[in-house]
Amino acid sequence: MRIVVTRSAAKAEPLAERLTALGHEVVRCPLIRIESLGDEPVDPAGYDWVVVTSPNGAAELARRLTGTPAHIAAIGRGTADALREHGLEADLVPSVATQEGLLAELPPGRLLLAAAEGARRLLIEERNADFVALYRTIELRPETPPDGDVALLASASAARAFAATGATMPVVAIGPQTAAAARELGLDVAAVAESHDVEGLLDVVASLT
């Protein structure tokens, strides 16, 4: 099966290598680029929880962190793994990898949401979390639409960029927010990963073959 991988170039290779090892033909079509929003230090003092909602956020937080957070919450396994790669251990990974899942399991306390510019504000609205924008996602426009049997989408930004290419193949979404964005854009969502990470995407691909 020809599988279009739309993750940023830096994040695509581990997924592409595993798909290739499973016998699939991988079409690399990066549709997003991550841009840091600066080098200002992030001071976790005074917060009971620092909440991280993506592997990109984990990398940026680790780079800019000036102290040891009291507790860290990661939205999913992939984000927890990225934190661990940078020497940070997540104290909470919710059973449902969404902000709703985090809300359901986060104990009381003062929160700092460390995420992308324009990230969902559910934790801010419901728990009065403070917010620091660590990076922005820039949508890319390839010269020609990608060609494959199915495309893997790991964010709403990737869904928007994919729709803009005019490609008509079905897509697999990493989670419900990405799936909702894809459907709103008229994309054919063939499946949604049960666990909202690379492992979940690989499980879906296995079910489609």
Q: Delimit the domains of the chain by residue range.
A: 2-31+140-208, 35-137
- The dihedral of CA 34, 27, 198, 87: what is its sign? negative
**Residues 195, 199: Cα–Cα separation, whole Å:** 7
What is the pLDDT at residue 14? 85
Structure tokens at 55: 């592997």
CATH for 2-31+140-208 is: 3.40.50.10090
How does pLDDT run across 41-51, given as a tens digit for each residue? Answer: 999 999 999 99
Better-predicted residue by pLDDT, 76 or 47: 47
Q: What are phi and psi of 165, to 5 degrees?
A: -75, -20
**Residues 118, 122: Cα–Cα separation, whole Å:** 12
What is the pLDDT at residue 12? 83
Name the nearest CA neighbour of 69 among 105, 111, 21.
Answer: 111
Compute how many other C-beta atoms are within 10 angstroms of the C-beta atom of residue 73. 24
Is the predicted pLDDT of residue 173 greater than 90, yes or no? yes
What is the pLDDT at residue 40? 95
pTM above 0.75, yes or no: yes
Structure tokens at 65: 């962190």
What is the pLDDT at residue 175? 87
**Residues 49, 108: Cα–Cα separation, whole Å:** 9
What is the pLDDT at residue 92? 98
Q: Contact, 99 vs 27, CB < 8 A?
A: no
How does pLDDT run across 85-99, given as a tens digit for each residue? Answer: 999 999 999 998 888
Q: Contact, 78 vs 57, CB < 8 A?
A: no
Query: Is the CATH number of domain 35-137 3.40.50.10090?
Result: yes
Structure tokens at 173: 């979404």
